[in-house]
């Protein structure tokens, strides 16, 4: 029965319902802000995780300025040129008179310090966790940045091996080699897509031998000896902890970046004495336009009339 009081129906858009829904809208907005903040935090964590996952470079300390650093002797044949320093300790015999455009330090305080820093760098590189296997033969392989391990010997039998920085100029490549590193004649370590020789390290458990005409990139840190055969060119360093460094008509351009000594901080590579292009780079010979030679016809003898 109708009591006489008219029934009222509130519109969905009435003030009373709007007031009742305001807390819900506020809660929703708050949840949205919290979700946005969580998303930003997650992105930051992922970025930090990616940065932490990148391989750190190896600091060489005072050894960074050396093109060749040996333990027992340094022997050279022919017109070898090194654009960095030459060092030897504890040995004292340097033969063959290589052209050293940097400084020469033989069993002095500078050489001793450089050898100590080399030992530290060698152990640092050897202790890094491995990203994967380097295999037994580098020929035809392409590596992205990381740490690669060869349990015994590592060979570059032919052609080239490619180190691809994938557009990251601070990308680091470390090769941990249990025994020997050998490159055959006319092989190449090719650095592409921003890879820099100052961030490539070859930690060699015994000795390294570079074949005739090899174009090599990176710093070799060998426990024993290093031999660079005829006309091998090195964009990096030959650093032997205990044995000899033997060279034969080689050119060593010292590759540096701001992190070469300290092991930290990004930076673009600088090369001392860049007469040899980095392995893998292409050079185009400068075109020369031959000079035109103008041939002039011999002047005819003019016979003048005699004036009377």
The per-residue pLDDT for 11 is 42
- For 194, the token pair is 């921003």
* pLDDT given for residue 27 in this prediction: 55
For tokens 């100029």, what's the residue?
169
Nearest residue to 159 (alpha-carbon basis) of 197, 185, 191, 195: 185
Tell me whether residue 167 is in a domain: yes
- Phi and psi of 242, rounded to 5°? -120, -25
Per-residue confidence (pLDDT) for residue 22, from 0 to 100: 55
Contact 210, 40 (CB under 8 A): no
Same domain, 30 and 76: no
So what's the pLDDT on residue 1? 46
Q: How many domains does the chain have?
A: 2
Q: Is residue 42 domain-shared with residue 68, that is, in the same domain?
A: no
Q: Looking at the structure, do residues 262 and 124 belong to the same domain, yes or no?
A: yes
**In this structure, are strands 270-272 and 251-256 parallel, antiparallel, or unpaired?**
antiparallel
Q: What is the reported pLDDT for 275?
A: 40
In terms of domains, do 250 and 144 share one? yes
Cα–Cα distance, 24 to 14 (Å, whole number): 16
Angle 277-283-285 (CA atoms, 0-180°, nearest 5)?
125
Sign of the C-alpha dihedral computed for residues 128, 131, 133 and 134 taken in this order: negative
Shared domain for 179 and 161, answered yes or no, is yes
86 and 214 in a single domain? The answer is yes
Q: Considering the domain boundaries, does residue 285 fall inside one?
A: no
Rounded to whole angstroms, what are the CA distances from 141 to 161, 187, 190? 5, 13, 10
Residues 263 and 144 in one domain: yes
Q: Do both 37 and 185 map to the same domain?
A: no
Chain-centroid distance of CA 65 in Å reads: 16
Domain of residue 74 covers 61-272
The reply to whether 3 falls in a domain is no
Rounded Cα gap, residues 155 and 142, in angstroms: 14
SS (H, E, C) 153-201: CEEECCCEEEEECCCCCCCCEEEEECCCEEECCCCEEEEECCCCHHHEE
Q: What is the pLDDT along the chain (308 residues), one digit of tens a residue?
A: 444 544 444 444 444 445 455 555 455 555 555 444 444 443 333 333 334 468 999 999 999 999 999 999 999 999 999 999 999 999 999 999 999 999 999 999 999 999 999 999 999 999 999 999 999 999 999 999 999 999 999 999 999 999 999 999 899 999 999 999 999 999 999 999 999 999 999 999 999 999 999 999 999 999 999 999 999 999 999 999 999 999 999 999 988 999 999 998 777 887 665 444 444 444 333 333 443 434 444 444 443 443 43
Q: Are 152 and 37 members of one domain?
A: no
293 in a domain, yes or no?
no
Give the model's pLDDT for residue 266: 74
2 lies in a domain? no
Q: Same domain, yes or no, for 109 and 245?
A: yes
Whether residue 284 is contained in a domain is answered as no
pTM value is: 0.74
Q: What backbone phi and psi angles, to 5 degrees, belong to 155?
A: -120, 145
Q: How far apart are CA 229 and CA 198, in angstroms?
A: 22
- Rg of the Cα atoms in the chain: 34
Residue 263 CB burial class (10 angstroms; 0-12, 13-18, ≥19): middle
Give the pLDDT of residue 33: 59
């Amino acid at each position: 029965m109708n009591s006489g009081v008219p029934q009222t129906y509130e519109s969905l858009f009435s003030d009373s319902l709007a007031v009742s829904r305001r807390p819900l809208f506020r809660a929703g907005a708050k949840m949205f802000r919290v979700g946005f903040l969580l998303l930003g935090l997650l992105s930051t964590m992922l970025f930090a995780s990616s940065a932490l996952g990148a391989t750190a470079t190896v600091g060489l300390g005072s050894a960074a300025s050396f093109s060749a650093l040996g333990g027992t002797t340094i022997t050279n044949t022919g017109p070898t040129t090194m654009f960095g320093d030459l060092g030897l300790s504890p040995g004292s015999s340097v033969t063959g008179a290589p052209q050293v455009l940097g400084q020469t330090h033989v069993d002095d305080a500078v050489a001793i310090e450089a050898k100590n820093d080399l030992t530290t760098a060698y152990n640092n590189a050897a202790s890094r966790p491995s990203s994967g296997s380097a295999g037994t033969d580098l020929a035809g392989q392409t590596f992205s940045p990381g740490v690669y391990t060869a349990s015994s010997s590592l060979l570059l039998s032919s052609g080239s091996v490619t180190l691809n920085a994938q557009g990251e100029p601070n990308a680091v490549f470390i090769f941990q080699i249990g025994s020997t590193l050998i490159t055959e004649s006319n092989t190449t370590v090719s650095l592409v897509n921003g890879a820099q020789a100052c961030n490539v390290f070859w930690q060699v458990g015994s000795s390294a031998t570079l074949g005739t005409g090899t174009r090599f990139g990176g710093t070799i840190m060998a426990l024993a000896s290093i031999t660079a055969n005829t006309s091998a060119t090195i964009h990096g360093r030959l650093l032997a902890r205990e044995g000899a460094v033997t060279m034969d008509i080689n050119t060593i351009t010292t590759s540096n970046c701001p992190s070469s000594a300290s092991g930290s901080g990004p930076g673009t590579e600088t090369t001392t004495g860049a007469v040899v292009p980095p392995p893998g780079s292409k050079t185009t010979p400068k075109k020369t336009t031959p000079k035109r030679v103008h041939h002039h016809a011999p002047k005819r003898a003019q016979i003048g009339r005699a004036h009377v």
